[in-house]
């Protein structure tokens, strides 16, 4: 197969080289026709031959596995070989051809649909997951039957570890989380934007990823060799040897640089002119605290608590109970050993539905999301508040409320926090009565009406991901408008600098916890605006710290003021890239 290159949106840095693993194979959509009686046995042989060819393919895959490839790669091939040999796949479809005269593809799909339906009934989640394996095996056989089978590279191009690169039309944030403990090399999806939650999780996994690839999942075949350049948003399929070599070199260089940066872990983040900057971590699950401490974070600036709630089928009855939540929050507090943990209350809705089967609103990003959802579901909100408050008895906890934009919402949220405290007092449970409460500034209305927050809140945290989405009217998950999602738009720079300077003037701490805070290309700009608190994925912390160590605030302040008066996006981008170097 000839090599080809796909261009999309870079979302998680680094380079991955490995074989493609199609997460959700294309729909088993085949032609249906009836076979005349005298051709039935020929049709049976056609299916038998296709099955035999797939057996050989799997054998070749197995033989070509490098010695140090992860165990799951081998196990995955074994499972597929077993499925293929099972009479359910190897025999039943043959009977269907003989009895019902279906063509081979139709017979196979009929049986796979039947098996899939049976798997849906199974309670055991592990067994239920095997449905995907059956579908993938079916897909392989179909490819042979329809003559679209990918020819496997004869030569194993990989001399070292064979990683798998997941290729999918889309991966939900909840699905992405499942990969936390799996060793995949990279991710490629057809849809998605730079700051979709899926992209954010990919970044937190520190796995090279590119999204918005349009039809990558149709163009890339199972087991194709692919290079994912997560910095450029480029995917090279079946690369020639010389390209592969170049990328291997770059990959090795990046690893070396990262190792060097890792040594900064214990170095305080102090600018050249002596100002200490606070570097905090964003996490999705309590276990992520280990990586945060490891990266040298001085606390958690954003715990996206909704990830504890996602991916549970069903509704209220299936939500994590107060005790389950409390254990999760307490775990984070304990793991952070006295460093503050900022827990954001449930930010559900938009691209983070509670249940993927749930009907989405007409315009979910503008709908019942985050605090709006919580105020509409007071029991869920109160339960979460009690759980967070209880965790505050074990170490410093701060409460962060997302998407606030009306005084009534602020007031209602504060009343409910007091109500939750009252309930705990009545139940004789301990908590920090002075728990700091902060607001996320992520709706333009909030940014433009800061006095609403200043008297009522203890701290502010700017959610630039949403602030950009709502200010520029760009859906952050829609790849078709992703090119317009620009953190350097003059309106965004104006709002950001306004929030930061107002915070300094009014003596209310301001952090940035959106993706801008972890982007090293923007560190100097944010410092120049006066930002002193950054919250980002633990993996980004060392390189942001490196930028800080090499920055001089006096120079950056002057240069940034000039940028803020510029309206030309090209000139802004140019000046930002040169900040501190002139």
Binding site for ligand PEP (CB under 6 A): 200, 302, 304, 347, 442, 463-466, 513-514
- As a whole number of angstroms, the distance between CA 212 and CA 418 comes to 44
Q: Is 221 in contact with 153 (CB distance < 8 Å)? A: no
Binding flag, residue 351, Mg ion (CB under 5 A) = no
* Contact flags string 429-448 toward Mg ion, x per CB under 5 A: -------------x------
Query: Residue 304 touches which of Mg ion, ligand PEP, none (CB < 5 to 8 A by kind)?
Result: ligand PEP
Query: Residue 298 touches which of ligand PEP, Mg ion, none (CB < 5 to 8 A by kind)?
Result: none
Region class of 356: left (phi > 0), else alpha (psi between -120 and 50), else beta: alpha
Find the shortest distance in angstroms from Cβ 66 to ligand PEP.
38
Whichever of 223 and 466 has its CB closer to Mg ion, that residue is: 466
Whichever of 196 and 559 has its CB closer to ligand PEP, that residue is: 196
Pairing label, strands 234-237, 4-7: antiparallel
- 3-state SS class at 300: strand
Tell me the DSSP string of 260-278: HHHGGGGS--B-TTS-B-E
Query: Residue 464 touches which of Mg ion, ligand PEP, none (CB < 5 to 8 A by kind)?
Result: ligand PEP
Task: Give the long-range contacts of residues 482-489, CB within 8 A, separation 24 or more.
Answer: 482/9, 482/193, 482/194, 482/212, 485/193, 485/194, 485/195, 486/569, 487/516, 487/519, 487/522, 488/569, 488/572, 488/573, 488/576, 489/569
- As a whole number of angstroms, the distance between CA 94 and CA 88 comes to 10
Among residue numbers 102 through 121, which ones bind Mg ion (CB under 5 A)? none
Whichever of 168 and 346 has its CB closer to ligand PEP, that residue is: 346
Query: Residue 223 touches which of Mg ion, ligand PEP, none (CB < 5 to 8 A by kind)?
Result: none
Query: Residue 163 touches which of ligand PEP, Mg ion, none (CB < 5 to 8 A by kind)?
Result: none
Q: Which of 186, 212, 444, 463 binds Mg ion (CB under 5 A)?
A: 463
- 3-state SS class at 158: coil
Per the DSSP assignment, residues forming a β-bridge with 441 are 462
Q: Is 163 a catalytic residue?
A: no
Whichever of 466 and 533 has its CB closer to ligand PEP, that residue is: 466
Whichever of 198 and 298 has its CB closer to ligand PEP, that residue is: 198
Binding flag, residue 466, Mg ion (CB under 5 A) = yes
Find the shortest distance in angstroms from Cβ 529 to ligand PEP.
16
Give me the catalytic one of 21, 197, 479, 537: 197
**Count of residues near Mg ion by CB under 5 A:** 3
Whichever of 57 and 515 has its CB closer to Mg ion, that residue is: 515
Find the shortest distance in angstroms from Cβ 283 to ligand PEP.
11
The strands making up 186-189's β-sheet, listed across from edge to edge, are 4-7, 234-237, 225-229, 15-22, 163-168, 186-189, 209-211, 9-12
Find the shortest distance in angstroms from Cβ 442 to Mg ion.
5
Find the shortest distance in angstroms from Cβ 350 to ligand PEP.
8
- As a whole number of angstroms, the distance between CA 234 and CA 23 comes to 19
Q: Which residue has the tokens 């509704």?
A: 315
Binding flag, residue 284, Mg ion (CB under 5 A) = no
Find the shortest distance in angstroms from Cβ 349 to Mg ion.
11
Whichever of 66 and 367 has its CB closer to Mg ion, that residue is: 367
Query: Residue 57 touches which of Mg ion, ligand PEP, none (CB < 5 to 8 A by kind)?
Result: none
Find the shortest distance in angstroms from Cβ 467 to ligand PEP.
7
Give me the catalytic one of 21, 289, 513, 537: 513
Q: Is 197 a catalytic residue?
A: yes
333-371 as b/e: b if 16+ CB within 10 A? bebbeebbbbbbbbbbbbbbbbbeeeeeeeebbeeebbb
Q: 476: closest CA among 45, 2, 3, 11?
A: 11
- Cα 382 to Cα 314, 345, 352, 416, distances in angstroms: 20, 10, 20, 7
Per the DSSP assignment, residues forming a β-bridge with 187 are 166, 209
Pairing label, strands 9-12, 209-211: antiparallel
Query: Residue 513 touches which of ligand PEP, Mg ion, none (CB < 5 to 8 A by kind)?
Result: ligand PEP
What residues line the site for Mg ion (CB under 5 A)? Answer: 442, 463, 466
Residues with catalytic function? 197, 513
């Amino acid at each position: 197969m000839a090599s080809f290159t796909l261009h999309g949106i870079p979302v998680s840095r680094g380079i991955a080289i490995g074989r493609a693993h199609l997460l959700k194979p294309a729909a088993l959509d085949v032609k249906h026709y009836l076979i005349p009686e005298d051709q039935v046995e020929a049709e049976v042989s056609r299916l038998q031959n296709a099955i035999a060819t797939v057996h050989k393919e799997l054998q070749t895959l197995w033989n070509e596995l490098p010695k140090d490839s992860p165990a799951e790669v081998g196990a995955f091939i074994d499972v597929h070989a077993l499925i293929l040999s099972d009479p359910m796949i190897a025999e039943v479809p043959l009977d269907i051809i003989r009895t019902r005269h279906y063509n081979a593809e139709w017979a196979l799909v009929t049986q796979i649909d039947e098996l899939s339906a049976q798997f849906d009934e199974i309670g055991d989640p592990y067994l239920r997951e095997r449905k995907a394996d059956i579908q993938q095996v079916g897909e392989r056989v179909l490819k042979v039957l329809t003559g679209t089978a990918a020819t496997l590279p004869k030569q194993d191009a990989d001399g070292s570890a064979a990683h798998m690169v997941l290729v999918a039309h889309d991966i939900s944030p909840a699905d992405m989380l499942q990969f936390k403990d799996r060793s995949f090399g990279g991710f490629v999806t057809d849809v998605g934007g730079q700051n979709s939650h899926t992209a954010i999780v990919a970044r937190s996994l520190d796995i090279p990823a590119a999204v918005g690839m349009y039809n990558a999942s149709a163009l890339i075949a199972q087991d194709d060799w692919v290079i994912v350049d997560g910095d450029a948003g480029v995917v090279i399929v079946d690369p020639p040897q010389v390209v592969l070599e170049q990328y291997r070199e770059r990959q090795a260089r990046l690893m070396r640089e990262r190792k060097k940066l890792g040594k900064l872990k214990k170095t305080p983040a102090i600018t050249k002119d002596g100002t200490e900057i606070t570097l905090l971590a964003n996490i999705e699950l309590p276990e992520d605290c280990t990586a945060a401490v490891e990266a040298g974070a001085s606390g958690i600036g954003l715990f996206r608590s909704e990830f504890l709630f996602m991916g549970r089928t069903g509704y209220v009855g299936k939500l994590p109970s107060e005790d389950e939540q409390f254990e999760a929050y307490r775990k984070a507090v304990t793991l952070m050993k006295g460093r503050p943990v900022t827990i954001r209350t449930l930010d559900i809705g938009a691209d983070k539905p509670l249940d993927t089967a749930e009907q989405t609103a007409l315009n979910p990003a503008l709908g019942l999301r985050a605090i709006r959802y919580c105020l509409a579901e007071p029991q869920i909100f109160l339960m979460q508040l009690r759980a967070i408050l209880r965790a505050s008895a074990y170490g410093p906890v701060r409460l962060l409320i997302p998407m606030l934009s009306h005084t009534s919402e602020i007031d209602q949220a504060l009343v409910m926090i007091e109500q939750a405290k009252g309930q705990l007092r009545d139940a004789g449970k301990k908590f920090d009565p002075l728990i700091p409460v902060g607001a996320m500034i992520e709706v333009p209305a909030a940014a433009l009406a800061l006095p609403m927050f200043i008297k009522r809140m203890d701290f502010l945290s700017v959610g630039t991901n949403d602030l950009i989405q709502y200010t520029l009217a760009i859906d952050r998950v829609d790849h078709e408008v992703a090119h317009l999602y620009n953190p350097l738009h003059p309106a965004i720079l104006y709002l950001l600098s306004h929030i930061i300077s107002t915070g300094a003037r009014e003596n209310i701490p301001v952090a940035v916890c959106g993706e801008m805070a972890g982007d090293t290309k923007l560190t100097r700009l944010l410092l120049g605006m006066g930002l002193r608190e950054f919250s980002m994925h633990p993996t980004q912390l060392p390189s942001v710290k490196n930028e800080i160590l090499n920055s001089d605030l006096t120079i950056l302040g002057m240069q940034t003021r000039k940028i803020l008066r510029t309206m030309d996006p090209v000139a802004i981008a140019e000046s930002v890239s040169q900040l501190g170097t002139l």
